[in-house]
Amino acid sequence: MIPPESFSASLSTFTLIALAEVGDKSQLVCMTLAARHRHWPVILGATTAFLILNALAVLFGAGVAAWVPERLAAGIVATLFGIFGIHALLSQDDGELEDVIERPGHGIFFTTLLLILIAEFGDKTQIAVAALSGSMAPLPVWIGATTALILVSALGVWAGRTVLQRLPLHWLHRISGGVFLVFALIAAWRAVA
C-alpha cells in the first residue's frame, strides 16, 4: 500500500509539472518530430531523456536539501516558483512551432533524446523537480514528474495540435502560472512558519 504522503507528493508533482509542460518546448519538439517520423522512437527518446533529467534533478535537489537549512530552502523554492508563476502568467504565445531538423546519420530515437536533453536541461520544470525533491520525498517526486513529462509528450505526439485548438495555449500558461504561485505561497509559508 502506498503511504498517503508519497501519493500526495507524486500527485502534487504530477499536477505542477504537467501543467507547466503543456505547450512547452519539449512537447513542441515531440509534436514536430512525430509529424514527420514514427511515433514510438519519438516517445521512447523523450521518455529516456526525462528519466535521466529527472534523476539528475532529484539527486541535486535532495543533495542540496541535506546541506541547506529547511527554512532557507523553502524560501528559495518560494522565490523560484513565484518567478516561474509570474513568467507563465505573462508569457505570450507566438503560436509557431520551431522547425526541428533530424541530424543525418542519427536515428530519430537519438535525435529526440538529444533534443530533449538539451532543451530541458536547466529548464523550469527540471528546476521545479529539484526544488520539490528538496522539500518532499525524492522518489515520489521523481515518479510524479517523470509520469507527467512522459504523458504530456505522448499527448503532444498523439493528439498533436487538436488539444491546443480546443483550449488556447495562453490559458494553459495561465493555469500553470497559477499553480506555480500556489506552490510558491505554500513554500513561503514553510519558510516563515
- C-alpha neighbours within 13 Å on the C-beta side of residue 101: 2
Q: Between these two residues, 144 and 27, which has the higher pLDDT value?
A: 144
Q: What is the mean pLDDT of residues 121-135?
A: 86
pLDDT of residue 190: 76
Q: What is the pLDDT of residues 46-102, one digit of tens each?
A: 999 999 999 999 999 888 878 888 788 778 778 877 887 788 788 765 544 444 454
| Structural domain range at position 147 | 4-92+130-192
Question: What is the DSSP code (8-state) at residue 2?
Answer: -
pLDDT of residue 179: 74
CB 126 within 8 A of CB 57: yes
Domain count, the chain: 1
pLDDT of residue 145: 95
Does 33 map to a domain?
Answer: yes
CB 80 within 8 A of CB 131: yes
What is the number of helices (H) and of strands (E) in the chain?
Answer: 9, 0
Amino acid letter for position 117 = L
Does 107 map to a domain?
Answer: no
Closest CA to 191 of 89, 80, 62: 80
CB 154 within 8 A of CB 33: no
Does 115 map to a domain?
Answer: no
Report the percentage of the chain scoring pLDDT > 70.
Answer: 83
Does 27 map to a domain?
Answer: yes
Does 186 map to a domain?
Answer: yes
Does 108 map to a domain?
Answer: no
CB 58 within 8 A of CB 129: yes
Would you call 190 exposed, middle or buried from its count of C-beta atoms within 10 A (0-12, 13-18, 19+)?
middle
Strand (E) or helix (H) holding 29? helix 25-36
103, three cell numbers: 541530424
Whole-angstrom distance between the N-terminal and C-terminal Cα of the chain? 31
Q: What is the mean pLDDT of residues 29-41?
A: 79
Spatial separation of the C-alpha atoms in residues 173 and 77, rounded to whole Å: 20
Q: What is the mean pLDDT of residues 38-48?
A: 90
Q: Between these two residues, 89 and 145, which has the higher pLDDT value?
A: 145
pLDDT at residue 169 tops 90: no
Spatial separation of the C-alpha atoms in residues 16 and 193, rounded to whole Å: 23
Does 159 map to a domain?
Answer: yes
Does 100 map to a domain?
Answer: no
